[in-house]
Amino acid sequence: MRAVIAQGTGGPEILSVAEVPDLEPGPGEVLIAVAAAGLNRADLLQRQGFYPPPPGASEILGMECSGTVAALGEEVAGWQVGDEVCALLAGGGYASQVVVPAGQVMAVPAGVDLATAAALPEVAATVWSNVFMVAGLQPTESFLVHGGAGGIGTFAIQLTAQLGSQVFATAGTAEKAEACRALGAGVPINYRDEDFVAVVKEATDGAGVDVILDNMGAKYLGRNVDALATEGRLVIIGMQGGSKGELDINALLRKRGAVIATSLRFRSTEEKSAICASVVEHVWPLVAEGLVQPIVHGTFPLEDVAAAHALMETGEHTGKILLTI
């Protein structure tokens, strides 16, 4: 099979495509002939040497893919060879084949073409598990997502807006802020020109927002707490702004707030399978109706993986970047 390999760690130029041994599914696993794979920030960190895959996972980059079922391991039920699927992976997506636990395989939602479906697993599982399963966002509550124009952000805006929340989203340009508005963010915030804490407090009459989904980490920690409402929940899923920050516990206590840090990739197979099942039940119907859509900035052939990574590093994209096999 063909797969992306990395010559050491470093910039996008270390990535190339080579032939590697074919895969065979083990018990409880599905072999997928990959049609497309989605890029994620974690892929860039892994390439740079800062985010190794979980023990036992493939060293090949790629945390989500779409394709067709090519073979089934023992004890796998519910799938047939030829089924069109997408999957949440611990690694291995940048390849023409990937093996994945059966519980992390999901049918492609109706109305979504096979390649585009690669843009769904990671964002859908991340948003649904963190915003709804962990933070418990309710339709009457407000929601703020940082990086609203990214893959996770564009999906989070649509999903939370469809389920009835007042949505705030930060973005780095006026154009990206307008893209967030078009997706359902009632209050888009250009963070280069506006203070998101001040905007949130003005729009909520000083109350703050109930749930924040944050990819920045340390840089926004104090300001995120300031922006929380009473009994608000801050969910941290990234560290683009650093890993060590100062927390004003008194401010958090006064709000009876919660700060939660979660990671999807290092969860157990059982936990990931439960999340995928919940996504299929609650999120896929909205996707099938066209109410929530995968936003794809562009696609690159697998051989152009270095160019795809370089684009993602610029931050100039809106939505997902895909590699097609």
- In the chain, the amino acid numbered 182 is A
Q: Within this chain, do residues 112 and 17 fall inside the same structural domain, yes or no? A: yes
Cα separation, 292 vs 86, in Å, equals: 17
CA angle 237, 262, 158 (to 5 degrees): 50
Paired tokens of 213: 């989904």
Cα separation, 54 vs 43, in Å, equals: 13
Of the residues 207, 231, 261, the one at which a domain ends:
261
Q: Within this chain, do residues 143 and 185 fall inside the same structural domain, yes or no? A: yes
pTM for this entry: 0.96
Low-confidence ranges of the chain (pLDDT < 70): none
CB atoms under 10 Å from CB of 323, counted, come to 27
Of the residues 240, 261, 282, the one at which a domain ends:
261
Residues 6+ apart with CB under 8 A from 165: 137, 138, 139, 140, 141, 142, 143
Q: Within this chain, do residues 161 and 112 fall inside the same structural domain, yes or no? A: no
The pLDDT of residue 38: 98
Contact 272, 279 (CB under 8 A): no
Q: Within this chain, do residues 196 and 308 fall inside the same structural domain, yes or no? A: no
Cα separation, 185 vs 160, in Å, equals: 9
Paired tokens of 99: 């093996």
Which run of H or E residues covers position 131?
none
Q: Within this chain, do residues 245 and 269 fall inside the same structural domain, yes or no? A: no
The pLDDT of residue 37: 98
Q: Within this chain, do residues 107 and 57 fall inside the same structural domain, yes or no? A: yes
Could you give the number of structural domains in the chain?
A: 2
Between the two ends of the chain, the Cα-to-Cα distance in Å is 11
CB atoms under 10 Å from CB of 164, counted, come to 12
Contact 40, 87 (CB under 8 A): no
Strands 228-236 and 209-214, by their bridges, are: parallel
Paired tokens of 223: 């300001």
Of the residues 227, 244, 261, the one at which a domain ends:
261
CA distances from 22 to 1, 51, 118, 128 (A): 5, 25, 21, 33
- In the chain, the amino acid numbered 32 is I
The pLDDT of residue 133: 97
CATH number of the domain within which 57 lies: 3.90.180.10
The pLDDT of residue 152: 97
- Domain hosting 236: range is 124-261
Q: Within this chain, do residues 22 and 82 fall inside the same structural domain, yes or no? A: yes
Q: Within this chain, do residues 115 and 130 fall inside the same structural domain, yes or no? A: no
